């Protein structure tokens, strides 16, 4: 049986943007985890990466057919498994879903003959031991296509949250966002946000202060992970900060994964 590399297998998915966004996420999380693991012997790279990664990409994997087609879900599952394996991480449930995705894609004749001919090689690659990386993976520069005065909805598990984009820092690098103090069971629209105040952060002194976040990773609109959604543009009315104390600094540097902890505190 012939062998295949991770990149060769990924190329046969014919989904360059999807693969690139997943690789950005996996590389960023793996790089951070490898740095932390040097100072914390109780921490594993997989233990850090997997919950945060799935918190984002489950928005595709668990999506309905209206939100993501079966073929897109299968491509996502396979790309996730291949890229995790490439970065030295294997998780049995993800691997099993990827193996099933290969069969689904072949049954639907969704990809090329080259993909079909390499089925056994791709399955063998996924079933082989994932070799831990010896050095931290490189990551791309941050970029965003969001704009100031955009309003976005962000999904995490069964809830949606909303955030206002105050500005874009750098050369289209980071959107600076502020959360509304609200949580929704369905994707909100602007009507849902009427009367919502700004979500602050409570500090050790007991004061709840204005809280802004410059977020890395909000690159594409629409988002290939189906996690964040543009719901309005050109909104001049900002979230009401009148009941919040002054912020500490301009904003905190963050990313889509650090925001998960912030969202879990929002609207509760």
Position 141 in a domain: no
Per-residue model confidence as pLDDT tens digits over 180-191: 999 999 999 999
Look at residue 135 and tell me if it is in a domain: no
Check whether 42 has a pLDDT greater than 80.
no
- What confidence score (pLDDT) does residue 222 get? 94
Please indicate, yes or no, whether residues 12 and 121 belong to a single structural domain of this protein.
Answer: yes
Q: Is the pLDDT of residue 267 over 70?
A: no
CA 248 remoteness from chain centre: 27
Same domain, residue pair 158 and 257:
yes
Cα(265)–Cα(138) distance, rounded to whole angstroms?
A: 31
Q: What is the mean pLDDT of residues 107-120?
A: 96
Is a pLDDT exceeding 60 seen at residue 268?
Answer: no
Q: d(Cα 174, Cα 166) in Å, to the nearest integer? A: 11
Q: Is residue 87 included in any domain, yes or no?
A: yes
pTM: 0.93
Whether 1 maps to a domain, the answer reads: no
Give the list of residues 6+ apart from residue 62 with CB closer than 8 angstroms, or none. Answer: none
| Chosen domain end from 127, 161, 188 | 127
pLDDT digits (tens, 9 = 90+) for 138-190: 999 999 999 999 999 999 999 999 999 999 998 899 999 999 999 999 999 99
Paired with 209 in beta bridges are 201, 245
186 class by beta-carbon count within 10 Å (0-12 exposed, 13-18 middle, 19+ buried): exposed
Last residue within a domain, chosen from 92, 127, 162: 127
Full domain range(s) for residue 182: 151-264
Residue 138 belongs to some domain of the structure: no
Whether residue 1 has pLDDT greater than 60? no
Rounded to 5°, angle at Cα 70 from 64 and 75: 120
């Amino acid at each position: 049986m012939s062998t295949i590399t991770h990149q060769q297998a990924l190329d046969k998915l014919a989904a360059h943007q999807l693969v690139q966004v997943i690789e950005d996420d996996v590389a960023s999380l793996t790089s951070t985890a490898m740095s932390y693991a040097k100072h914390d012997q109780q921490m594993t790279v997989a233990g850090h990466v997997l919950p945060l990664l799935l918190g984002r990409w489950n928005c595709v994997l668990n999506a309905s057919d209206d939100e993501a087609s079966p073929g897109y879900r299968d491509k996502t599952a396979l790309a996730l498994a291949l890229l995790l394996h490439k970065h030295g991480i294997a998780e049995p449930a993800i691997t099993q879903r990827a193996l099933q995705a290969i069969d689904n894609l072949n049954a639907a004749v969704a990809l090329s003959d080259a993909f079909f001919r390499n089925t056994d090689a791709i399955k063998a690659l996924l079933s082989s031991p994932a070799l831990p990386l010896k050095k931290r993976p490189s990551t791309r520069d941050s970029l965003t296509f969001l704009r100031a005065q955009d309003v976005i909805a962000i999904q995490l598990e069964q809830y949606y949250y909303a955030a206002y984009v105050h500005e874009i820092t750098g050369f289209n690098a980071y959107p600076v966002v502020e959360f509304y103090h609200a949580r929704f069971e369905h994707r909100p629209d602007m009507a849902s946000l009427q009367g919502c105040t700004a979500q602050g952060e409570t500090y050790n002194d007991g004061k709840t202060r204005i809280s802004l976040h410059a977020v890395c990773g909000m690159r594409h609109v629409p988002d290939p992970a189906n996690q964040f959604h543009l719901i309005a543009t050109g909104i001049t009315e900002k979230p009401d900060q009148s009941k919040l104390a002054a912020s500490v600094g301009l904003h905190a540097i963050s990313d889509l994964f650090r925001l998960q902890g912030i969202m879990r505190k929002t609207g509760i």
